[in-house]
Amino acid sequence: MLPNVRVAAALVVPSRWTCHRMKLGCLSIRTRLLITASLLVVAVADASAGDPVAAEALFQQGKQLVAERKYAEACPKYDASYKLDPTLGTLLNLADCYEKAGRIATSWSTWGAAMEQAQRDKDPRLDYAKERREALFPRLPKVVVRVYNAVPGIDVLWDGAKLAPGAFGSEMPTDPLDHKLVVRRDDGVVLFEKTVRVTDDGKKTEIPLDMVALNRAHPRRSADDDSSSAWGPQRKAGLVVGGIGLAALLTAGGLELGALLKRDEANEANACVDGFCTPKGMESIQAARTYAEAGQWIGLGGIIAFSVGATLFFAAPSTSPASPGASKQTANGRRVIDRHRILSPSAVWVSPWAGPTGGGFVFGGKL
């Protein structure tokens, strides 16, 4: 295809002799560039057009598969051939292949496309395509999806494709296969799912869908309905602070244990006797004092942090419904929660305390 592009480019630079013979005068540079661009576009379009050689090869493969009654494999060959070289003969064979494969609705639609192409090309095979299409109509299975009480935000999907509201209540020609019907809400919740088996007998299958009933059967989950909402920001903060306090208490316990061990080392016979200590004994005594003092301060901080965390956790307002009357459901299935009825302060209170000799926290409340 590249030679076509080169020829097109060569034709757009007329010589003086060409200008004289055409009696158009010499073209300006701008005009030449415009003509060049136009011809290049045409050349590229020709180059990107179908490939008749590949199309013929695919067509012959499809014919061979049809002769072997392998229709499911033959139809894609015809389809690929038609996309490369859209001839009427290939389209007629594709429609016939779909019919033999049992895809009645697809065949019926393809015969219709063949009729349009034959009429456009004034091809005498128009009557043949029309006859074959009309012969399929009595066998054509149809599906009708009837939607009652439509609710915004709910989609109906047929084999994964969203049905437009205009398709509700209309007869849809369908291949005699197993099809999947899904009703899905905009929050991703599947309200209804069904496998619809369509048979090749020309029958009409109706599927009624009451959207309000389906929506009501699957209430929307709000933040107040989620069980994780009981762990609100205040309680989460309480857990973090309390965890830090607990870690500090464990660290303080370890330091106090280390102080006891160092003191035991100082009490050994080769360390301290009757108040007189060796350098090793003095080192053990100093380490014991350091560990004990650090443990006391870290322990005090741990008690305070743990107390604050416990206060934040237990004093957090409850977010769970206090009674069935705390929430109600509207006609379209949405739940409305009365926050004034369910958000009440906890009856439990916690108060930390600390002193020169220790610390802790006090719980209180009512049953």
Q: Is 60 exceeded by the pLDDT of residue 278? A: yes
- Considering only residues 18 and 109, tell me which one the structure prediction assigns the higher pLDDT: 109
Mean pLDDT throughout 233-261? 84
pLDDT tens per residue across span 39-53: 443 333 443 456 899
Cβ atoms of residues 318 and 341 within 8 Å: no
- Amino acid residing at 153: G
The Cα 267–Cα 263 span in angstroms is 6
CA distance 18 to 37: 20
Tell me: pLDDT of 197 over 80.
yes
Does residue 215 or residue 276 have the better pLDDT?
215
Residue 344's nearest CA partner among 313, 324, 322 is 322
The residue-averaged pLDDT of 105-124 equals: 95
Write the pLDDT tens digit of every residue in 214-237. Answer: 999 989 876 555 555 556 787 788
Share in percent of the chain as helix, strand, coil (round to 5): 55, 15, 30
What is the dotted CATH code of the domain comprising 142-217? 2.60.40
* pLDDT over 70 (residue 36): no
> For position 99, what pLDDT does the model report?
94
As annotated, the residues of the chain forming the CATH 2.60.40 domain(s) are 142-217
Q: Please give the structure tokens belonging to residue 256.
A: 């106090």
Residues whose CB is less than 8 angstroms from the CB of residue 181 and which lie 6 or more positions away in sequence, other chains included: 145, 156, 157, 158, 192, 193, 194, 195, 196, 207
pLDDT in tens, 78-108: 999 999 999 999 999 999 999 999 999 999 9
Per residue in 219-256, is it b (16+ CB within 10 Å) or e — as a string? ebeeebeeeeeeeeeebeebeebbebbeebbebbeebb
pLDDT at position 286 is 79
Comparing 57-61, 94-98, 281-285, the range with the smallest average pLDDT is: 281-285
Q: Residues spanned by CATH 1.25.40.10 within the chain?
A: 52-139
Assign 360 a pLDDT band (cuts: 50, 70, 90). low
Q: What is the distance between the alpha carbons of residues 60 and 239, in angstroms, rounded to a whole number?
A: 73
pTM strictly above 0.75 = no
Between 170 and 282, the higher pLDDT residue: 170
Could you say which of 3.30.450.30, 3.40.50.1820, 1.25.40.10, 3.40.50.150 is the CATH number of the domain covering 52-139? 1.25.40.10
DSSP letters for 14-53: --HHHHHHHTS-PPPHHHHHHHHHHHHHHHHHHHTS--HH
Decide which of 354 and 310 is more confident: 310
> Taking Cα atoms as reference points, which of 50, 132, 147 lies closest to residue 98?
132
